[in-house]
Chains A and B, each alone.
Chain A
Amino acid sequence: MKRRDFLRIVGVLTGSTLISSCGSGNGSKKFISSILPPEEGIIPGEAIFSPSTCTECPAGCGLSVTLREGWPIKLEGAPGHPVNDGGLCIRGQSSLTRLYHPKRIANPMLRNGGGKFQGISWEKAISLVSESLADSRGSGRKNLYLSGRTTGSLSALTGMVCRKLAVERLPEFEVYSHSAVKEANGLLFGQREVPHYRIENADFLLTVGADILETHISPVSCTRKLSRARGRGEIRWFHVEPHLSLTGANADKRFAVLPGREAVLLSYMLRHILDRGPRRPGLPPEVANALQRLSAESASEGTGIPVGGLQEIRDAIANARRPLVIAGGVSTAHPEGLEVAAMAGMIQWVTGEIPGLVDFARGENYGGVGTFRDMEDLSGRLGKGEVGVLFLSRTNPVFSLPKAYSFRENLGKAKLSVGMGDLLDETMQEANLVLPLSHSLESWGDAEPRRGVVSLVKPVLNPLHDTLSEGDILLRLMGKGSGEGSPTGYREYLFDAWGRKYGKKGRDEFLKRGYVEESFPAKRVFLDGRKAASLLEGMKSSAGELGRPVLVLAPSLRTYDGRGRGLPLLSEIPDPLTTISYGRFLSVSPGTAKESGLKDREEVTVSSADWSEVLPVKVQPGLQDGVYQVFRDFVASPPLRTEKRTGGAVEYIDGARLVKSGKMAAVPILSGSSSQQGRGLIPDPAHKGEKHHHGRVSLYPEHGHEEYRWAMVIDLALCNGCSACVAACHIENNVPVVGKKDHLKGREMSWLRIEPFYGDAGDVEFLPMLCQHCHAAPCETVCPVYAAYHNPEGLNVQVYNRCVGTRYCSNNCPYKVRRFNWFWHRWEKPLNRMQNPDLETRGVGVMEKCTFCIQRIRAAKDRGKDEGRKVRDGEVTTACAQSCPTGAIVFGNLLDADSRVSRLAGSDRAYRVFEALGTDPSVYYLHGKTRGSGS
């Protein structure tokens, strides 16, 4: 044969011998050779995307999971998903840190004689539970199943298993159970459910306490719809609340109502609507008569809202074609909460928006969720020793239930308490047996966040630890209990169920797309006049006043009801209103602070009749006097009472007193000033017409850009400070979590931060600040080693391996967006799996900052190069822009005249921060609340 052929054959033989001897057995965990054919579609360096559902809160937003080499490294909202349509909130982004949390429970644990946890195997655990179930049945105790809100197939399975094993399925426990709204809707319309609100079709929205941007039912969905409508200038939004929430801070107008007096406001509104002539259905006469007649002044006195404000709300509702009132949150969690919810329901009825804007057909699936009173009953049963086996799945009653229930003590009296969860929270620590649950990214399942929407939960990796999904545990228990031998897995169960429901083709569609949306006809409901009237009668005589000063326990954007406490990223990112990152704090009004001589960080003892707590103070502009505020998870087992009629908890502590302790606490408040100090970071609307802040004319010739000039536009009217972008940036760019000690020195590491600036009236605007990628960047000239320079596409790039760490660049940046690595940051296993392989983690002594996600730009350009074209508008987007639920951030190529960025940057709302310094930034902000074209 020819020499060449011989060499060729030898080469191939040698090569294939070498290749096949590379360890590739357990491919997804070890080195993957790029010469081997791709396993399961894994191509090194290329990302694959898999649909799933976020389970950080009950909203059930759809996810698109980014996988690299078989590891999920980033979560995005699934575009087109009926719940969130591409947006993902701060908790959802942080869900990945839950998957990779170093302290996840790794295997089942049983409490031994000495009270400590010992690992046991799943077989033993299941056997133990099975035996205990049988024992309890024998000894006359009841076996109970308690979980957090469960929907979809898991709910069906739980029901079936509980029936088979004769376990009583308790009402699900959620801190935010919307019991008042459910009770009201049950009384008025016979629908004991939370309806779906079609905010996108309303032209006036009045939210009473409902924190729709933070935790209320489906915050990303509400945010998205609301922002779209606001962007088109089609909706006005007023918010009424007793405290100050992020939601209230973003409404077009916010009214501070006296705590517990929202019903007076709503009854005044309802009366006014009736007086102006009812719309379609109207109210039955007995109801209209039972309705109080209030003058504006007495309503003002009753609610604490000035007469002018009342008139504004009144007129807005009256003039709106499709007004929508949503009551919820803390405004329905007090003794008159039922009235508030009922009034809102009646207003919805009278304005004819049921079933238009208020859709009971697509209810939010809270029917299975019980009340606090149900938990009180459970605690009672535990206390009486009636309970054999108690399952506690995905719920933390030991932490969240009022102290008076004595749940913790009573829990010990159950024969066997089985905790199911992923982290050792307060309830899990009290359980006898701990069964670790797989994360939603490790398990199969589905969720039905509202009727008609089923969202797929699909695993993207094998469980990191010895965990099982809840469905698998239930099936094993059932198999064990009924002696059926090896049980089917949850996956088979699900595929079977989906096959039956959707047909084989439908099921494949479902698996590919990640969701199914059904439509049904609207549900007609009818108002029960008698019940409505008797409710209104009762309102006149009920005292229901909350003794001021009152401490409000508000839902938290970052931790929801406390379930996000274990995730370090959620503590690293500060609360947008106060900019406090780590630790607890008590918000007081400026009036209270002045009166009591309180300063930020000063410690006080806040106490009521039988409870006290030491907390540092934060002065919150905009909060009304007589109201103190904490987040719900700052107080464990709070001294709350149960509201009799609804069964919900009163999320207020009456008669709260403050006593200064004289000490200062170490609280990291990241903002140096809550005021703009007259510097025009967000221009005063009064200056709108003036265009005197141009950049200076430069002495130097302009440098050109050939193909791309990347720029970003941020619409401040849409940005609500939710900080989802911050979380997205952290995870996309391997930004380390630095901890409280560094935060106390102001050394926050976020490349992107939300700066809240308060006006004199207590109103707040949020300015997302990131590297402006200036064209005349002051940081570049002063770097001695060219670690910062301007690339031909208009980006200010930072070359990490060139940086010697003189920090002059950070000194010279007027926006102070450059972040220095003061220490080595270690990523505790398995969090290191979360790192994006497209960029390095920076070592000590290196400066880093926002890069406009240059790794994504490069990937997009590579794709374009493969296809022989330029990057199209919308093809590449930064992590922050992608996650933003309101769509406030837009990124693109300024040289492309058709791109969104070019159009927005040229609008008359556009401005740049500190333009007069001559830095020529690439980030344009849109200010002013006027809506116009260009969205």
Chain B
Amino acid sequence: MAETEKYDRADREILAAMGKPGRLYLLVLAFTVTLVASGFLCWYHQYRVGLGVAGYTHPVNWAVYITNFVFWVGIAHSGTLISAVLYLFRARFRTSFNRPAEAMTVFALMVAGLFPLIHLGRPWVFYYLFPYPNQRQLWVNFRSPLIWDVFAVGTYFTVSVVFFYVGLIPDLAIVRRCKEGIRKTIYSVLSLGWEGTRRQWRHYNMLYLFLAAFATPLVASVHSVVSWDFAMSILPGWHTTIFAPYFVAGAIFSGTAMVITLVVPMRKILVLDRYITDDHFESIAKILLFTSLIVSYAYVVETGLAWYGGNVFEIELFRYRAWGHYKALFWTMITCNSLVPLTLFARRLRRNIAYLFCVSLLVNVGMWVERFVIIVSSLARDFDPYVWDTQMYRPTFVEVGITLGSFGMFFTLYLIFLKTLPVLSITEIKEHL
């Protein structure tokens, strides 16, 4: 058929997702919104009464909320990897995951950004954390890893939003073409009057290249900075230089798994098989496997160093992690993160989409549990034996509610995204059709 007809068909098929929402969609949306509402109520209860309603003990001062924070920031990294890093490597297969991955990044960062506020003892003075000239004559402590977080995650969020938006501009022009009335006006404004002239494409390409170039170091640096929340402390099990690469690999690992979790049902429900093929999934699965191997390597190195180093505190901590109160979680983590992904060495399993979906769910669970185990076990058993926790940390309904609320918020945003923005990067797909 004529080329433009191919492109028209691509437009139609991909934009079909933005049609009127069906029953299933509304049901799922209602469910996620309920989760958000209940999460909000839990948070409000905590805001009024104090952090004591959460399960924190002394010495475990950080638990579920920081786990969620690291989890969501980690998930965001995979999106940037796919959009920016793979762009620089000119990986063709990235185009089919590009948009959903970037959306995932932006929404994951929005959810992640809430958790530093949720876990504050006095959230009403959260603005103390931002450096701006004020009458209190105080600046923030730039040596603190939490402030590095503010800058790194803030930068990452801003750059991701810009990157996401920039990638959307040509696609928004396509949507503008297909809509009428008030919707047409909105998309016209959002697409800035994009035409696709040569000059625009020239500057656009340069912009995209630079944004990708700027975003690429962020993939490595932001989660390194988040990992330094732990590595800059002195606690055994936290204070180790391997954390930066370990966490970055872990972030990409969990983010890739989340991409698979999102894209597999999306492909099925929105019938996008033509554009997202099994080959694409196989490439993503290879990333999953590769990062899983790095994470497993990090587990081995950490434990090995503790044993080899002879440091009394480290040895006891790693023994505690594997055989102490949290052993069930620890071995879940090993199974889900290190053992199950090994099966992806088999080509047949890599191309089995249903299997890939299950693996991705297990990896999501495993990575959440990994952060929890790292955070809580190191806190529960550190230097002074008097302070050791005598029983396992028990999250209360407030923490569970807020965690579920965060998942609810992420999926709500994603569902809204499906209906309001082009779900795949149409322009880039057309380039390679």
Binding site for B on A (CB under 8 A): 579, 669-673, 675-679, 681, 742, 745-748, 753, 755, 757, 769, 778, 781-786, 802-808, 810-812, 814-816, 819-824, 843-847, 914, 917
Contacts and interface: CB of A to CB of B under 8 A. Distances in A.
Given A672-B386, A804-B129, A845-B122, A814 B58 contact: no
A669 B383 contact: no
Contacts of A746: 57-59, 387, 389-390
B397 interface: no
Interface residues of B, number: 50
A804 B125 contact: yes
A677 B50 contact: no
B128 A802 contact: yes
B141 to A, nearest CB: 5
Contacts of B147: 784
Nearest to B49: A823
Interface stretch (B163-171, B228-236, B341-349, B409-417): B228-236
Nearest to A807: B61
Leading 8 A-B pairs by shortest Cβ distance = A805-B121, A845-B121, A672-B388, A822-B52, A673-B385, A845-B122, A807-B61, A784-B146
Contacts of A804: 120-123, 125-126, 128-129
Contacts of A812: 233-235
Given A781-B144, A810-B61, A675 B138 contact: no
A676 B316 CA distance: 13
B312 interface: yes
14 contacts: A672-B387, A673-B388, A675-B385, A747-B58, A757-B386, A784-B144, A805-B122, A806-B121, A808-B233, A810-B61, A816-B59, A822-B50, A824-B49, A845-B50
Chain A's interface: helix, strand, loop or mixed, by majority? loop
B145 interface: yes
B62 interface: yes
Interface string B112-143: 00001001111101101100000000111101
A816 B387 contact: yes
Most chain A CB atoms below 10 A, which of B144, B146, B232, B389:
B144
A679 to B, nearest CB: 6
A681 B382 CA distance: 13
A673 B386 contact: yes
B119 to A, nearest CB: 7
From A745, A807, A811, name the one whose CB has the most chain B CB atoms within 10 angstroms.
Answer: A811
Contacts of B431: none
A805 B120 contact: yes
Contacts of B143: 781
B122 to A, nearest CB: 4
Contact of A815 (B145, B316, B383): B383
A804 B384 CA distance: 26
B384 A816 contact: yes
B383 A814 contact: yes
A811 B233 contact: yes
Contacts of B313: 679
Given A786-B138, A814-B384, 14 more contacts: A670-B386, A679-B385, A742-B52, A757-B385, A784-B129, A802-B128, A806-B119, A806-B146, A815-B383, A819-B58, A820-B51, A823-B49, A843-B122, A845-B120
Given A804-B129, A811-B379, A820-B61, A678 B50 contact: no
B331 interface: no
A675 B385 CA distance: 7
B123 to A, nearest CB: 8
Contacts of B140: 784-786
Contacts of B121: 803-807, 820-821, 844-847
B307 interface: no
A811 B63 CA distance: 11
A681 to B, nearest CB: 7
A695 to B, nearest CB: 13
A805 to B, nearest CB: 2
Nearest to B383: A814
A811 B62 contact: yes
A679 B312 contact: yes
A761 to B, nearest CB: 18
Interface string B54-91: 01111101100000000000000000000000000000
Given A675-B385, A679-B312, A845-B120, A782 B145 contact: yes
Contact of A778 (B57, B62, B234): B234
Contacts of A677: 312, 316, 385
Contacts of A816: 58-59, 382-384, 387
Contacts of A819: 58
B56 A822 contact: yes
Interface centre among A745, A812, A815 (most CB of B within 10 A): A745
Contacts of B233: 778, 782, 808, 811-812
